[in-house]
Amino acid sequence: MAGAKFLHAADLHLGAPLESLGEAVDEATFTRIKALVKKAFDRLIDVAIDEQVDFVVLAGDVYDNAEGDPGVQRRFLLGLRRLSEAGIKVFMAHGNHDPLTKDVKQGSLPEGVVVFPAGKLGSHLVTMRNGVDVTVAGVSYRRKNETDNLVPLFAGLNGRTIVGVLHTNVGGNDSVHKNYAPSTPTELQASPVHYWALGHIHKRSVNPIESGWWAYPGNLQGRSAKASECGPKGVLIVEVDDDGRVLEPRFVGCAAVRFERVSVSVNAVEAIDKLNDVVNEALESVVSGADGLPVLARLELTGSTDLADIRSMDAPGWKSVEESLLEEVADVLGDGAVVKVRTSCRAKIDLAAERDRKTVLAAALSKLDDLELDGDAKNAVTDVLINAMTETK
């Protein structure tokens, strides 16, 4: 018999997974990848059924916008029907992209699908297949710009095992994601919830607390080459043992394509005709680790070089270098593509000569020499220093 477990997903953003690629790849590739990414949600449904989970949690931003697209809504409904037919319950919260405002039409949802109310806590008891009673509680956004801390709504919950479903920015870091429904790790720790099924942050994160875990599964499918959109994407499978303890979540991939940021050092490239070999080797490594998925790569040349044509995108020879790279990597990437090429290379610096000069960089290098660092660490810090100094010139 399969163990008692549930599936935690968030940030499906159905309807707009690849809008930012319109000008980055050719039309044929865009159309093909657009069709592929629609399969990510189908894979979520397949995983839930194959894993024989007792229920599925969707922690906000199911749709990319509140109005939604009828075709996307239909595909979502068909997926919910498959879960219902398999006897799998679904608990869904709405987030900042799809707030549960008064004008949102829910439509007729299949049996076993629960939408948490807006601005107030909803709570439901689920008896898992091992006999453990789990309380699943959650709240939906009532407006897009939800500024209230919603964690206190969970304070009065009681139960052997409690799963809290919330779309929140833990820690308040708004450098990547807006600080909606802000909360803190300390607040999550102090609550009666044993597993916080969170959404909003697109980078997967699993964090232990005394009573269990708080976790972001990340978004279901990467949408661009931003750092938070890259790497494996999918869902978390969470097991509840016979004593009601929530075990560490297990990641299962669902994405149909993978975005990656690929940095290629040109330090050892002495001639322009060797550049493609180095780039191809780096991309081959990325493709081999992508679980068979098409890779959409943001390629950046880094390091130091005397080859002026690859130090700047404004260099006279840059365009021909870029065209040559793209022509060759097409064979390496197969069904994937390079969506962007950038360079952050700098001119080579004679460090010995630089130390004799009266510059800020020379002073920093002198201080670095006084530190007890091993060779690799010292080289890494040196690169950071040089990059920082040359960028400010």
SS (H, E, C) 289-347: CCCCCCEEEEEEEECEECCHHHCCCCCCCHHHHHHHHHHHHHHHHCCCEEEEEEECCEE
Q: Which of 95-104, 203-212, 324-333 has the lowest mean pLDDT?
A: 95-104
188-235 pLDDT, tens digit each: 999 999 999 999 999 999 999 999 999 999 999 998 889 899 999 999
Tell me: pLDDT of 297 over 50: yes
> How confident is the model at residue 381, as a pLDDT?
63
* Predicted confidence (pLDDT) at residue 240 exceeds the cutoff of 50: yes
Weakest mean pLDDT among 63-72, 92-101, 276-285: 63-72
Report the pLDDT value the prediction gives residue 158, as an integer from 0 to 100. Answer: 93
Mean pLDDT over each residue of the chain, to the nearest integer: 88
CA distances for 137 relative to 190, 195, 216, angstroms: 16, 11, 16
How does 238-254 read in b/e, with b if 16+ C-beta sit within 10 Å?
bbbeeebebeebebbbb
Distance CA 379, CA 382 (A): 5
For residue 36, pLDDT beyond 80: yes
Q: Tell me what the mean pLDDT of segment 379-388 comes to.
A: 62
Q: What is the pLDDT of residue 364?
A: 75
Mind listing the pLDDT tens digit for each residue in 105-122? 666 889 999 999 998 999
- pLDDT of amino acid 392: 43
**With bands split at pLDDT 50, 70 and 90, how would you rate the model's confidence at 393?**
very low
Please check the confidence at residue 349 and state whether its pLDDT lies above 60: yes
3-state SS class at 42: helix
CB-CB contact of 8 with 235 (8 Å): yes
Rounded CA-CA distance 338/330 in Å is 8
For residue 332, pLDDT beyond 70: yes
pLDDT band at 373 (very low <50, low <70, confident <90, very high): low
Q: What is the pLDDT of residue 21?
A: 73
Supply the pLDDT for residue 1. Answer: 42
228-229-234-237 Cα dihedral, nearest 10 degrees: 10
Q: Which residue did the predictor score with more confidence, 143 or 251?
A: 251
Give percent of the chain with pLDDT exceeding 70: 86
Of 125-139, 187-201, 237-251, 375-389, where does mean pLDDT reach its minimum?
375-389
**CA 27 to each of CA 24, 126, 226, 329: distance values in angstroms, whole numbers, following the listed order:** 9, 47, 21, 18
Please enumerate in sequence order all residues whose Cβ is within 8 A of that of 232, keeping only pairs 6 or more positions apart, or say none.
204, 251, 253, 255, 258, 291
Q: Say whether pLDDT at 336 is over 60.
A: yes
pLDDT, residue 351, reads 61
Instruction: Check residue 150 and give its pLDDT.
Output: 93
- pLDDT exceeds 70 at position 348: yes
Q: Give me the numbers of helices (H) and strands (E) for the chain, helices first please.
A: 9, 17
The model's pLDDT over 162-177, given as tens digits with 9 standing for 90+, comes to 999 999 999 876 656 6
Condensed to tens digits (0 to 9), the pLDDT of residues 79-90 reads 999 999 999 999
